[in-house]
Copies of this chain bind each other. A is one copy, B any other.
Amino acid sequence: MLSEFSLIDRYFARRARTNTRRAVLGIGDDCALIAPAAGEMLAVSTDMLVEGRHFLPDVAPRALGHKALAVNLSDLAAMGAAPLGFTLAFALPKPREDWLEAFSNGLFELADRYGCELIGGDTTAGPLNLCITVFGSVRQSHALRRDAAQPGDDIWVSGTPGDARAGLGVLRGEWPQVPIDRADAAHFRHALEHPEPRVALGLALGGIARAALDISDGLAGDLRHILERSHVNAEIDVDALPLSAALARLPRALQLQCALAGGDDYELCFTAAQAQREAVLAAAQQAGGRVTRIGTITSSDMAGSPVAPAITWRDASGAPLNLTLQGFDHFHAD
């Protein structure tokens, strides 16, 4: 059996050392030493992934390596920060070489693509658990905060939310009565297992968008975080939701459940002043992604009060819809 140190060295440290070194001091000391560029802040986020909760026990380790870092890079994207590096702590029941090789390949393929360097970590025996803390650099004036939405702002979303949730439904066999052809099922599963963090879009939106976050727990639930922190409400045109062709082939109720209350999308939801519409579209084009305007921020009579913010759901005609949706919550049963 590999010892802890040879394990780290073989699959992680050696590979980390071949990257360009943004860190003054990386793996192998008590701490890594890093610094943001002059005049910039360090953006920091941490996510923990647990088997059975964030991934299925039979997930391909390469896909898991990708996703573990992708969900963290997505937090940087939502802040408009440029990736710098990350730490990886993980618990493994037993170090299996084939598993580690595939996992590290998936991890570094994504890390290299975004120039995000592994700067430190920890490994231990235990039930499978992955904890990544990611570091980015952002000008304070360009940070896309959750508390910056203003009444009158457009509400935008990137990509086609809902596909990842449909992928989970397919893998779990949740909808046996719904015919889903093989290509659509593969599309959904890819969305679930290979989310693409919207880093380029987040960077392009700096100075253009106001508030932003990434959709990890479902659009409806996540949007509420912006509303709460910005003390505003929202109106959403449900018919404007961008759906993939595959999702659009599911029954309408499933479409909405997946697109509004599904987790694991890692698309960006953001607000921007109406005067910025062209700039937003240009930023999306520059970043090579799709963005769709789905609603409007409205004022709240209860600024500063602890009352939960309201989302009004409407169809394309403006008629209100009565939707019952529940966002993803890690301590509720799924």
- Smallest CB gap from A268: residue in B: B30
A143 within 8 A of B: yes
CA distance A47 to B78 in the complex (A): 26
Are B4 and A87 within 8 A (Cβ)?
A: no
Residues of B with C-beta under 8 A to A78:
30-31
Which of A29, A45, A53, A125: most chain B CB closer than 10 A?
A29
Min distance, Cβ A329 to any Cβ of chain B, angstroms: 5
Contact with B along A214-258 (1 / 0, CB 8 A): 100000000001000100000000000000000000000000000
Asked if A310 is at the interface (CB within 8 A of a chain B CB), the reply is: no
CB of A91 to closest CB in B, whole Å: 5
Cβ A32 vs Cβ B43 within 8 A? yes
Whether A170 is near chain B, meaning CB under 8 Å from some CB there, is: no
Residue A95 CB within 8 A of the other chain: yes
Q: Residue A36 at the B interface, CB < 8 A? A: yes
Q: Does A90 contact B (CB under 8 A)?
A: yes
| A33–B143 CB distance below 8 A | yes
Cβ-based interface call for A97 (8 A): no
Report the contact-size class of chain A (Cβ under 8 Å from the partner): 35 or more
Copies in the complex: 2
The residue on B at minimum CB distance from A134 is: B31
A293 at the interface (CB under 8 A from B): no
Q: Which of B33, B44, B48 contacts A43 (CB 8 A)?
A: B33
Residue of A45, A46, A87, A124 with most chain B CB atoms under a 10 A cut-off: A46
Report whether A89 and B146 are in contact in the complex, using a CB–CB cutoff of 8 Å. Answer: no
Chain B residues within 8 Å of A51, by CB: 126
Question: Which B residues touch A49, using CB under 8 A?
Answer: 124
A119 at interface, CB cutoff 8 A = yes
**Contact pick for A126, options B81, B127, B133, CB 8 Å:** B127
B44, A87: Cβ atoms closer than 8 Å: yes
Q: Tell me if A76 counts as interface (CB < 8 A to partner B).
A: yes
Q: Judge if A294 is at the interface, Cβ distance under 8 Å.
A: no
Q: Mark A117-150, 1 if CB is under 8 A from B, else 0.
A: 0011111111101010101101010011111000
- Taking the closest CB of chain B, its distance from the CB of A214, in whole angstroms, is 6
Which residue numbers of A lie inside 8 Å of B, CB to CB?
1-5, 7, 24-25, 28-36, 40-54, 75-76, 78-79, 81, 87-91, 95, 119-127, 129, 131, 133, 135-136, 138, 140, 143-147, 212-214, 225, 229, 329-332
The 3 closest A-B pairs by CB, nearest first: A50-B126, A131-B131, A31-B43
16 interchain pairs (CB within 8 A)?
A: A3-B329, A3-B331, A4-B329, A4-B331, A5-B329, A25-B143, A25-B145, A29-B213, A30-B79, A31-B75, A32-B45, A48-B89, A51-B126, A53-B126, A89-B133, A122-B131
